[in-house]
Copies of this chain bind each other. A is one copy, B any other.
Amino acid sequence: MMENTPKLIPYRHKVQYYETDCMKVVHHSNYIRFFEEARVDFLEQIGAGYVALEAAGYVSPVLSASANYKSMTAYGEELYILVKLSEYKGARFYFTYKVIDVATGTLRATGETSHCFLKNGSLVNLKKELPEAHEQLVNAVGMETVI
């Protein structure tokens, strides 16, 4: 990440009633959705928004996702979902996440996802087929949102 990189804005998510469960906390599956929200926002911030690629017939499926839950989030609390593009190797790229309570700074969860690009069901060689997206990813490795 170069010195003159514009500062990325950390993604915030206000917890909704429909995201809680009868344990009175956010249902664990929703963190996987929060990761997606923050990842999409991160990619838009670095200029690699997903909407244009999808319009061109590409899709970027999630190949794996994991979350480690550290503490529970209640209704009405607000979360930072911090994202880092941790690796880009072959056709596969990896994000790591930290979910942090805005009010207290408490760590709620960490996580990781991996992704590729497909067109018509086949793996896309980004370097050849989407050199611009490839360059963006190469340059963005190590970039992250911080509080």
CB-CB nearest in chain B for A52: B76
CB-CB nearest in chain B for A16: B37
- Of the candidates B29, B36, B49, the one whose C-beta lies within 8 Å of that of A32 is B29
A28 near B32 (CB under 8 angstroms)? Answer: yes
A139 within 8 A of B: no
A25 near B23 (CB under 8 angstroms)? Answer: no
In the assembled complex, which residues on chain B have CB atoms less than 8 Å from the CB atom of A74? 22
In the assembled complex, which residues on chain B have CB atoms less than 8 Å from the CB atom of A32? 28-29, 32, 65
In the assembled complex, which residues on chain B have CB atoms less than 8 Å from the CB atom of A72? 61
Nearest chain B CB to A20's CB is how many angstroms away? 4
B28 near A29 (CB under 8 angstroms)? Answer: no
In the assembled complex, which residues on chain B have CB atoms less than 8 Å from the CB atom of A40? 16-17
B25 near A36 (CB under 8 angstroms)? Answer: no
Q: Which A residues are closer than 8 A to B by beta carbons?
A: 16-18, 20-25, 27-30, 32-33, 36-37, 40, 49-51, 54, 59, 61-69, 72, 74-76
